Every structure is written in structure tokens, then in C-alpha cells.
Amino acid sequence: MADEQFELDLDDLERRMDGAIGALRSEFASLRTGRASASMLDPITVEAYGARTPLNQIGTVNVPEPRMVTVNIWDKSLVGPAEKAIRESGLGINPQLNGTIIMLPIPELNEERRRELTRVAAQYAESARVSVRNVRQDGMQQLKKAKDTMSEDDNKLWHDEVQELTDKYVKMVDTALETKQEEIMQV
């Protein structure tokens, strides 16, 4: 009976580790790599209608060419706040207005900015590793609580399963980081 319970817990641990990887991928998508991407605007929120609203919910985000992102704001009164939010986002992009369309030319990244972005990517990856390790710790605590209800061999087997799962997800984080850093450093 205890074994079935832990099988479910292992699935839950894996689901939670998948969540950490998903969060890492979305953070990586928001990092600029010198190419235009609609997802780079995902973290930007605008003060609209009395609440913080994601930029992509007040206008249409398009990538008409490799070095240009456009945002067609639906409500004229939100053009100013949207432009201000983009300017203050820390993306290093200078928005240009054309009526209700905000054009965002993506400048080439210089070497210093590339290195800075790789450090930010490394911080995101470390946060994901910490999340994965926290999930591992939860699993180990569940095993500790159930220690009396299973044999020592079963306990060791479950510990190994949880550790193997953790190692797999930490490796996924490392691979994603390597890929993102190569993408950032590519000229």
C-alpha cells in the first residue's frame, strides 16, 4: 500500500520539477538575444483600467522583421502608459510611436550586454535548480515520514528514484542554460 502512495508522489514530484523547467523556459524567452521575439515583452505589465495588465492583453504584438517588434495598442489612452512601461522595463529598447502602434527596433547587442545577459540567464538557471532541489527535499521528507512503513531496501530504492529524477532535471536546466548562453553570445 505504501509503495502505491509513493508512486503517486513520484509523479507529483516530476510534475513539480516540470513546472520549474517551464518557468525557466519562459524566463529565458524574455531575455533578449539580438533577435526580435514577441515573448521578450511577456514580463512587461502596464497600468491599465486600474490594474497591472500584461502588455499583450492591451494590444497585438507582432514581429514584422528580424530586428523589429510592433505593438498595436487597442485603446489610444493606453499608448502613453504602454510606451512608459516598455521604456522602464530594462530591456534596453527605445520605443518609437506611430499613432497607436509602438515600434521597437531591436539594436545589436554589444559584448558587455551579452555577458550581462548570460549572467542573468545563469541566475535564472540557478533559481530553477533551487526549485528542483526543493521538490527533491519534499520527496525525501515524505520518505522519512514513511520510513517505518517500508523496508530499508524499499526506502533506499525510493531515495535512489528521487535522486535520479533530481539529477535528470538539474541536467535539463544545465542544458537549457548552455543553449541560451550560446544563443546570447552568437553574433
Please, are residues 49 and 58 in contact by the beta-carbon 8 Å criterion? Answer: no
Q: What is the mean pLDDT of residues 124-136?
A: 92
With 0-12 / 13-18 / 19 or more C-beta atoms within 10 angstroms meaning exposed / middle / buried, residue 182 is exposed
The candidate with the shortest Cα–Cα distance to 88, out of 122, 44, 25, is: 44
pLDDT the model gives residue 169: 93
Task: With cut-offs at 50, 70 and 90, classify the pLDDT of residue 187.
Answer: low
pTM attached to this predicted model: 0.67
pLDDT digits (tens, 9 = 90+) for 32-91: 666 677 777 877 888 888 888 888 888 888 888 878 889 998 989 988 898 888 888 767
pLDDT the model gives residue 2: 44
Q: Torsion-angle region of residue 168: left (phi > 0), alpha (psi -120 to 50) or beta?
A: alpha
Say what percent of the chain tops pLDDT 90: 21
Q: Where are the domains of the chain?
A: 2-29+110-185, 38-105
- Grid cell locating 38: 514577441
- Indicate if the pLDDT at residue 1 is higher than 70: no
Domain 38-105: CATH architecture, name and number where available = 2-Layer Sandwich (3.30)
pLDDT the model gives residue 4: 47
Please, are residues 13 and 88 in contact by the beta-carbon 8 Å criterion? Answer: no
- Indicate if the pLDDT at residue 154 is higher than 60: yes
- Indicate if the pLDDT at residue 5 is higher than 60: no
pLDDT the model gives residue 26: 82
The domain defined by 2-29+110-185 folds into Topoisomerase I; Chain A, domain 4 (1.10.132)
pLDDT digits (tens, 9 = 90+) for 23-34: 888 888 777 666
